[in-house]
Structure 1
Amino acid sequence: MAFVSVTQVKPGDKISQDVMTQKNNLLMTKGTVVSERDLEVLRAFLIAKVHIEGENGAVELAENGQNAENQSAQVSESILAFYNAYDKMIVLLKKVFSLAASSGTIPVLDIRTCVETLISHIGEYSIVSFRPAKYHSQDYLIHHSIKTSLSSYTLAKWLGFTQKDLIPIALGGLLHDIGSSKVDSTFLMKSSALTSVEYEEVKSHTTLGYQILKNVPGFNEGSKYSALQHHERLDGSGYPLRLSGDNIHTYSRIVAIADIYHAMTSPRMHRAAMSPYVAMEELSKQAFGQLDPAYVQTFVHKLTQFHTGRIVKLSDNRIGEIVFSQREHPTRPWVNVNGKIVNLTLERNIYIQEVIQ
């Protein structure tokens, strides 16, 4: 192991000891393979030197850190299992959408089994920072559906729903857009504004989805209603039925929040991905009348509850560390940038663009 200047560190080098900030928060973990982004972070936090594995690094690890290495291997296996389950879900969901488009039989047992397997690795999923290993824009709807499923399950768990509801809510999130399989794909992938006629066809995915699912055995009614009602709003401004208040199923209220969040934070054909923090601010605005305010409050609170120490990129491209946040303004914390505190509550023209670590 060598203790070297950051100026000597190259992409591909391996960190052999945790790197801490001046505030004693973890910046980079032991075992990190350094990337160009990591070098940028190290420089931003004025880290002068780091421990890098040399030619004898493996020997030293064996001598001093075998337990840590074993733990790291276990974590890696757990993460790998999650991504493998996610990839299998991609394959299955593409098949399901294809069957739905041709009015084929929906493989209920396969879907439930795949969802339960993916959920068993939910500990490796982060709503804010998860990125699929492989992402193609033409597969947006598939990825969106899976992430909506995982986030709906997570939110429902935060809200205290029991096990009998959790998997049905996850299934509702997974298949909430199944009706899109019968919508002209050129409208769904269009990079410019939709015409009124095109928009009406896209909106029909809600009723089409319910028609696909309503006679499928083995699905909870709430899961089916998630397809029909996820665009309904509490004030009656949504579609397709302009339902309001308690007429909107509980599952649909949960799925709506996850659906909106991931629609905003995922890259689309017509725009780049939105910052998670900006998306949370938008959800909070919609909680005044359109979305369930208690559910939104829980969602935002939980996503920001433990973000102190998180490394973020601001909208002006500066990199900093979240050091404090007020409960009243969870999406606008204080960020330490090179020793200077940027209070986003006061500096409203700046926002968190990206979560780095």
Structure 2
Amino acid sequence: MRLIPVNLLKPGMVLGKKIYNSDGLILLAEGVKLTDGLIRRLGGLDLSYIYIEDAKTEDIAIPELLSQQTKLEAIRSIRTGFKNLEERPTMKGSFLHLGKTFSGMMETIMDEISAVDESMVLLTDMNTNDFNLYQHSLNVCLYSMVLGISYGYSREEIRVLGLGALLHDIGKTRIPAGLIQKPGRLTDEEFREVQKHTEIGFKILKDEPNIPLISAHCALQHHERLDGSGYPRGLKGPETHEYAKWIAITDSYDAMTTHRVYKPAMLPHQAVEVMYAGSGTLYEQSFLAIFRDRVAIYPPGMTVQLSTGETGVVSKIHSEVPHRPVVRILNNAAGEELRQLYEIDLSESLAVMIAGTGQTNPD
């Protein structure tokens, strides 16, 4: 399976993975042969990359943290819970459904993540078109829980962190949708309005009997930054709870790697580079180091260019060193296609580096 830019699609190529809309509904199934008409439709979906089938890479598997059934059930539950809040005229009263619904979801997600031998931060769905609050909430939850496992938290600590991550943006249900999805730059007044989602989220969650208070503080503090430049309180360093510091990282990463109405998605290695510019000032340095060691910055199927001049496709990721994957070489240093393919394991060939990402056209 190959991951290629949408602008390089050609009629006759076969879709390798399902394409979903932002509500988790299937738009195109895997195995569909692309036509000019379908390619034009895909071009209008704001997708940057999609997976296609390819004889040279047909055995390359794309790992999933969650089963598709669990993922879709989670999206439906998040959508139902958040829409109930959106439709309530006031915040008076209790939101008991939140704790009951999402606590059960945490148990299912923890069981599935724990069963994965090589758990790491992967892009949860490159085949989803456009940013969506429900998908974003689930992504941040999954990323945060994976990091919590790597950090050594107990199951209960991971559950609380996961709940805080899942509900970190719940305050946005009370912010006008036009501001959340505005395609252009927000005015200062509009930005101040959007910033209120942190405090609103805390107010929604803080008194719920089935939501830990620490999870509520994740909603309040996930936009705080180490140097005090964040909001709503401008907290510095240890003043912010460590769970919120994890979510600050995963929230930023998912925002950068998901298409938004005002900017295209970054590839994982690009987002990590941007985030590392804020290491020790915006983000906790030790947490960011763990994130770097657990994120698959070169997803399976991605085309990469090596320092040797060879070009290939990532065929396997090592969970301990995800930035040093196995690469299947398709073109030699002269750019010539190889008849006999071979692989280079970058975790063993330490003198060889990934020099960049690119694209070789599948047959």
Q: Verify the 8 A CA contact 1:99 1:106 in the aligned structure 2.
A: no
1:339 equivalent in structure 2? 332
> 2:125 corresponds to which letter in structure 1?
R
2:236 equivalent in structure 1? 244
Q: Verify the 8 A CA contact 1:311 1:319 in the aligned structure 2.
A: no
Larger Rg: 1
1:116-135 pair list within 5 angstroms: 116-122=107-113, 123=115, 127-131=121-125, 135=128
Q: Match of 2:302, SS?
A: strand
How big is the shift at 1:111?
Answer: 1.4
How big is the shift at 1:38?
Answer: 4.7
> 1:243 corresponds to which letter in structure 2?
L
Q: Match of 1:301, SS?
A: helix
Q: Distance in 2 between matches of 1:346 and 1:81?
A: 29
Q: Verify the 8 A CA contact 1:99 1:105 in the aligned structure 2.
A: no
Q: Match of 2:260, SS?
A: coil
Q: Verify the 8 A CA contact 2:304 2:314 in the aligned structure 1.
A: no
> 2:143 corresponds to which letter in structure 1?
S
> 2:121 corresponds to which letter in structure 1?
I
> 2:122 corresponds to which letter in structure 1?
V
1:96 equivalent in structure 2? 81
Q: Distance in 1 between matches of 2:334 and 2:139?
A: 34
1:1-357 pair list within 5 angstroms: 38=52, 42=56, 82-101=67-86, 102=88, 103=91, 105-107=95-97, 108-122=99-113, 123=115, 127-131=121-125, 135=128, 137=130, 140-304=132-296, 310-313=300-303, 320-321=312-313, 338-340=331-333, 350-351=356-357
Q: Distance in 2 between matches of 1:282 and 1:324?
A: 25
RMSD: 4.1
Structure 1 unaligned blocks of 5 or more: 1-9, 15-31, 52-74
TM-score with structure 2 setting the length: 0.67
The structure where helix makes up a greater share of residues is: 1
Q: Match of 1:120, SS?
A: helix
Identical amino acids, percent of aligned pairs: 26
How big is the shift at 1:233?
Answer: 0.5
> 1:261 corresponds to which letter in structure 2?
Y
Q: Distance in 1 between matches of 2:186 and 2:66?
A: 40
> 2:333 corresponds to which letter in structure 1?
K
Q: Verify the 8 A CA contact 1:280 1:331 in the aligned structure 2.
A: no
Per-residue CA deviation, residues 291-344 of structure 1 (Å, 9 max, x unaligned), is: 111111011112249x6x9442359xx96235999xxx9869897561339999
Q: Distance in 2 between matches of 1:97 and 1:183?
A: 12
Q: Distance in 1 between matches of 2:66 and 2:75?
A: 14
How big is the shift at 1:150?
Answer: 0.8
Structure 2 unaligned blocks of 5 or more: 1-11, 17-29, 35-50, 336-350
How big is the shift at 1:213?
Answer: 0.7
> 1:93 corresponds to which letter in structure 2?
I
Higher relative contact order (CA 8 A, sep 6+): 2
> 2:102 corresponds to which letter in structure 1?
I
How big is the shift at 1:118?
Answer: 2.8
Q: Match of 1:194, SS?
A: coil
Report the CA distance shift for 1:282/1:341 in structure 2 as closer, same or farther (over 3 A): farther
Q: Distance in 2 between matches of 1:211 and 1:293?
A: 30
How big is the shift at 1:129?
Answer: 3.6
Q: Distance in 2 between matches of 1:172 and 1:12?
A: 39
Q: Distance in 2 between matches of 1:227 and 1:169?
A: 11
> 1:160 corresponds to which letter in structure 2?
G
How big is the shift at 1:41?
Answer: 7.2
> 1:299 corresponds to which letter in structure 2?
F
How big is the shift at 1:40?
Answer: 5.6
Q: Distance in 2 between matches of 1:192 and 1:288?
A: 30
Q: Verify the 8 A CA contact 1:332 1:344 in the aligned structure 2.
A: no
Q: Match of 1:211, SS?
A: helix
TM-score with structure 1 setting the length: 0.68
How big is the shift at 1:136?
Answer: 5.3
Q: Distance in 2 between matches of 1:319 and 1:33?
A: 26
Q: Verify the 8 A CA contact 2:96 2:209 in the aligned structure 1.
A: no
Q: Verify the 8 A CA contact 1:333 1:345 in the aligned structure 2.
A: no
Q: Distance in 2 between matches of 1:286 and 1:187?
A: 26
Q: Match of 1:320, SS?
A: strand
How big is the shift at 1:249?
Answer: 0.3
Q: Between 284-293 and 93-102, report the one with greater CA deviation.
A: 93-102
